[in-house]
Amino acid sequence: MERRHLLAQGAAGAAGATMLAMPSLASAQPRIRWRCPGSFPKSLDTLYGTQEYIAKRVAEMTDGAFQMQIFGPGEVVPALQVMDAVGAGNVECGFTSGYYYLGKDPSLAIVTCLPFGLSSKQHWAWLTHGGGRELYAQVYRDQGVVGIPAGNTGSQMGGWFRKEIRGVEDLKGLKFRIAGYGGTVLQKLGIVAQQLGGADIYPALERGVLDGAEWVGPYDDEKLGFNRVAQYYYYPGWWEYSPSIDMMVNIRAWEQLPATYKAVLEAACTEGWHWMAARYDVQNPTAMRRLIAAGTQLRVFPREVMQACYHAAQEFYAEIGAQNPRFKRLHAQWDKFRIEQTQWARVAEDSLANFLAVATSQR
């Protein structure tokens, strides 16, 4: 009996010693606090919400040792200057999209999306297994940042217009808010393209400074109130099939980050990328029904307009590629991937999707 008691005491002592020798992750790793401004309004609980989600997951996976203090646009830096602040080292990281900064390097548009590009599934495949991240790593490095895919909206809508678009002639002279190279393509057809941050779009539409605007899709567009100042809602959003959003990290901050924290941030951003896409897929259908019930006129872009836009996009890619060897090289790789994926999807997915669309409508 006494021997068993002594053995138990010894085991308890050994366990206690083991517990004392095993510090928690939080005490074993350095405590880090980063500032993370973003480009998206706080009112948008999926775009801005993904920024919150990533910060939350990073803290959870490090027992609170790695904290990211997030900010909305204008709180630390303006919405469209996040990458500049990160690259300069004014903040450690930021949640934004490469195509907001294409004036610095046209190749930055490819990492977010190009008109008539990839679906969200195809985009993730390109980034992770199709060489995408490797291709744009140097593009971002030239801007002083490391880019980590951290969000994707999925398929977007074609935007809000005050008047119907019946043909290419109806585009001429329209003042339209649009980001990325979709605006450059539409300028070839006569549209006056303007880029504004999300919070500035509604006032511009309301005052008549804009004739139309695109943002994301029904869920966000309803929140921003575009249906109150424009009647016609067009689809598809051919210029943003599946725009990717990045967590941009200052290069020096990234290099100083412990390997464990790098892995945590990568994992949290991967979760965020899919969290955003899935949430939009859930929210958009019900938001669309609410908009239509409230009087929104849903319209599809005429085939003539789609064809004209597609041809204008291909002309533009050739023009910019002739001026910029890096864009030409990256676009060639991306385009080859796009064509292969489109052909595969036509056989494996589009055929069933089209059948189901008809079959469901007949129920």
- Give the number of other Cβ atoms within 10 Å of residue 286's Cβ: 12
Domains and CATH numbers, the chain: 28-154+243-282 (3.40.190.170), 159-241+291-334 (3.40.190.10)
Residue 62's nearest CA partner among 98, 102, 89, 33 is 33
- pTM for this prediction: 0.88
Beta-ladder partners of 34: 68
Helix (H) or strand (E) holding 27: helix 25-28
Cα 245 vs. chain centroid, distance in angstroms?
3
Residue 305's nearest CA partner among 189, 174, 144 is 189
* b/e sequence 327-338, b meaning 16+ C-beta within 10 Å: bbebbebbeebb
Would you give per-residue pLDDT tens digits along the chain (363 residues)?
Answer: 444 444 444 444 444 444 344 444 555 689 999 999 999 999 999 999 999 999 999 999 999 999 999 999 999 999 999 999 999 999 999 999 999 999 999 999 999 999 999 999 999 999 999 999 999 999 999 999 999 999 999 999 999 999 999 999 999 999 999 988 999 999 999 999 998 888 889 999 999 999 999 999 999 999 999 999 999 999 999 999 999 999 999 999 999 999 999 999 999 999 999 999 999 999 999 999 999 999 999 999 999 999 999 999 999 999 999 999 999 999 999 999 999 999 999 999 999 999 999 999 887
What are the Cα distances from residue 282, in Å, to 219, 292, 343? 10, 17, 27
Residue 77 to residue 37: CA distance in whole angstroms: 7
